[in-house]
Amino acid sequence: MTEVRQVHCMALDPVWGVSAPGRDRTRGPGGFREHDIRPFPGGMVPPPWVQVPALLSTWLEEVTDAASHARPMEALAGAYGTFERVHPFLDGNGRAGRLLLNFVLVRLGYAPAIIYTRDRSRYLHALRSTDQGDPGPLGELLARAVLDNLYRFIVPAVAGPNRLVPLAALSRRDLSEGALRTAANRGRLRAQKGDDGHWRSIRAWVDEYLAACHQRRPLTPD
């Protein structure tokens, strides 16, 4: 419970005076709300404020049980949905909840899950499904986010420049996984296809491919 409060403090303390205008500032970051909240537009009704400490204690047990669940991502998605429904703080529950989710993921040995702005509509739809008792869509979204970050950030850092890794681990903003796959299929990018049907390459080969692309570009007049 102390860590829950601390995460909220770290996330909200720098902006509390701005992000909580007109609210009771005697209950600062890390302090649970002491009033009830009106229903949200989607119909979700947060519980009475007097129930918050007890519900969070139950939530901590739910998070602990998720570690040994047969489908841990789905279980963690359900636990995340529970936190958002409890809505324990005056403000910043979404930010604190996502930070706590990643805190738990990292402790369990997973890569953090980053939900990008482009996935906002899918995220909100999945969160509503969780509120209705189906954490599957949010669990799938979390699993894909964890895998994406594993390939994009962790695998390249661990593997180094000369170890075969999936093309997803070599993609960047200006060079998508799909573009790399097309280049591998056409023989322009040195890569190896595994028994699972997926292409793998190394950073040095991708650099060679980019250098060759640059040489093939026509010169533009001055």
Within this chain, do residues 91 and 127 fall inside the same structural domain, yes or no?
A: yes
| Residue of 8, 35, 87, 125 marked active site | 87
**Of 149, 176, 204, the domain-final residue:** 149
pLDDT number for residue 138: 95
Within this chain, do residues 104 and 44 fall inside the same structural domain, yes or no?
A: yes
Q: Is the pTM of this model over 0.75?
A: no
What's the CATH number where 133 sits?
1.10.3290.10
pLDDT number for residue 198: 87
Q: What are phi and psi of 127, to 5 degrees?
A: -65, -40
Which residues form the domain of 173? Answer: 162-216
Report yes or no on 184 lying in a domain: yes
Distance of CA 5 to the CA centre of its chain: 21
Within this chain, do residues 111 and 207 fall inside the same structural domain, yes or no?
A: no
pLDDT number for residue 219: 47
Judge whether residue 52 has pLDDT over 90.
yes
- When divided into structural domains, the chain yields a total of 2
Q: How do residues 77-118 score in pLDDT, each as one tens digit? A: 999 999 999 999 988 899 999 999 999 999 998 989 988 888
Q: Please name which of 203, 163, 200, 164 lies closest in space to residue 184, comparing C-alpha atoms.
A: 200
DSSP H or E run through 51: none
CB 85 within 8 A of CB 46: yes
Within this chain, do residues 92 and 133 fall inside the same structural domain, yes or no?
A: yes
Judge whether residue 51 has pLDDT over 80.
yes
**Of 149, 174, 193, the domain-final residue:** 149
Among the ranges given (13-22, 60-69, 149-158), the one the predictor scored with the smallest mean pLDDT: 13-22
Within this chain, do residues 119 and 174 fall inside the same structural domain, yes or no?
A: no
Judge whether residue 33 has pLDDT over 80.
yes
% of the chain surpassing 70 pLDDT: 90
Within this chain, do residues 12 and 93 fall inside the same structural domain, yes or no?
A: yes
Both structure tokens of 70: 């047969």
Report yes or no on 112 lying in a domain: yes
Q: Please name which of 66, 97, 80 lies closest in space to residue 137, comparing C-alpha atoms.
A: 80
* DSSP alpha helix (H) spans, the chain: 2-12, 16-19, 52-66, 72-86, 93-107, 120-131, 136-149, 155-159, 177-185, 203-216
Look up 87 and say whether it is catalytic: yes
